[in-house]
């Protein structure tokens, strides 16, 4: 059975002037045009192909592999916009259509967006949508604290980064927990902090617990030693500056320097932190 929008392994039935016909279903054989036929392919061979509708709305096969298939989420660039919607490049000759009604925000040519790929039931064509909620599980997520997940970032806003958690649920990485540069379209390893009543998942890029603070504190100590015992950062410094210099969030910076201060390894000054004599001698937390 040939499945639209997926990779299928199909048998070559016969050769015609324009290509080869592959076994479909209900006697609806599928054309593989000449330009996609691998050298040496013959009748009776099985070949892996992607099935979709071409620009003339014919069901057709290709040996090209798109950047996403039906049921997938993909980060794609808009290559054209017209009066009916947007078109995204996805590795095939025919671009992927995104109707206006399926755009979470109005798409612009040259911009990239995370979309879900689906088959439009009214036209039986493959299409995409940036309204991602319709493709996600409606069940309450069942995660444990610190469980490792994949976060696929699809949006950035003033409080952080919205992401798809294991491509099943919606999650957020708060700006205050960002420990490295993140970008829309990026997939990162993250850790569950909690599941909210609205079924969204709070995430962190580091597992919670004291071990995290100690790891960060060790990094700050090492940075201080590399900079003659002083760094011009304090709990009043902008989060962007802390992230740029240390690659950690302001929230974790404050926790770590608090831990170092209690151990008398640093002094907290007005615009910076300084190693104490004990801190200079200290090798491990």
Q: Which residue among 162, 179, 204 closes a domain?
A: 204
Give the Å distances, CA to CA, from 84 to 62, 92, 230: 26, 20, 59
Give the domain range for residue 78. 73-133
pLDDT for the residue 176: 77
**60: closest CA among 97, 87, 37, 32?**
32
117-139: pLDDT as tens digits = 999 998 899 999 999 999 999 99
Q: How many domains is the chain built from?
A: 4
Higher pLDDT among residues 209 and 124, named by residue: 124
**141: closest CA among 197, 187, 206?**
197
DSSP 122: T
pTM of the complete model: 0.77
Tokens of 62: 């290709």
User: What's the CATH number where 229 sits?
Assistant: 1.10.10.10
d(CA 62, CA 91): 11
33-83: pLDDT as tens digits = 999 999 999 999 999 999 999 888 889 999 999 999 999 999 999 999 999
DSSP 146-206: T-EEEEEEEEEETTEEEEEETTTEEEEEEGGG--S---TT-EEEEEEEEE-TTS-EEEESS
| 216 in the same domain as 276 | yes
- Distant-in-sequence, close-in-space partners of 192: CB < 8 Å, separation ≥ 6: 143, 144, 145, 146, 147, 149, 165, 201, 202, 203
Give yes or no for residue 210 having a pLDDT over 60.
no
pLDDT for the residue 209: 60
d(CA 192, CA 206): 9
Tokens of 22: 């592959």
Has residue 126 been placed in a domain? Answer: yes
d(CA 94, CA 248): 43
Establish how many alpha carbons lie within 13 A of residue 215's alpha carbon, considering only the half-sphere containing its beta carbon: 10
User: What's the CATH number where 116 sits?
Assistant: 2.40.50.140
Has residue 1 been placed in a domain? Answer: no
């Amino acid at each position: 059975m040939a499945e639209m929008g997926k990779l299928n392994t199909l048998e070559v039935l016969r050769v015609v002037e324009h290509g080869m016909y592959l076994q479909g279903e209900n006697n609806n054989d599928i054309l593989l045009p000449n330009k996609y036929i691998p050298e040496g392919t013959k009748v009776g061979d099985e070949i892996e192909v992607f099935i979709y509708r071409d620009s003339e709305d014919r069901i057709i096969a290709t040996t090209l592999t798109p950047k996403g298939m039906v049921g997938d989420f993909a980060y794609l660039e808009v290559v054209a916009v017209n009066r009916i919607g947007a078109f995204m490049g996805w590795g095939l000759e025919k671009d992927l259509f995104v109707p206006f009604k399926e755009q979470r925000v109005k798409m612009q040519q040259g911009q990239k967006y995370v979309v879900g790929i689906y088959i439009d039931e009214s036209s039986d064509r493959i299409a995409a949508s940036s309204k991602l909620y319709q493709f996600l599980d409606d069940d309450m997520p069942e995660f444990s604290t610190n469980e490792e997940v994949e976060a696929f970032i699809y949006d950035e806003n003033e409080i952080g980064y919205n992401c798809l958690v294991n491509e099943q649920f919606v999650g957020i990485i708060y700006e205050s927990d960002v420990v490295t540069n993140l970008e829309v379209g990026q997939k990162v390893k993250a850790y569950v902090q909690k599941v909210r009543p609205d079924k969204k998942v709070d995430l962190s890029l580091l597992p919670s617990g004291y071990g995290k603070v100690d790891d960060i504190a060790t990094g700050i100590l090492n940075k201080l030693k590399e900079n003659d015992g002083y760094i011009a950062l304090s709990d009043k410094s902008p989060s962007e500056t802390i992230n740029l210099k240390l690659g950690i969030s302001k929230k974790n910076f404050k926790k770590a320097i608090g831990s170092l201060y209690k151990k008398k390894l640093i002094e907290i000054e007005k615009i910076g932190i300084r190693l104490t004599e004990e801190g200079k001698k200290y090798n491990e937390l």
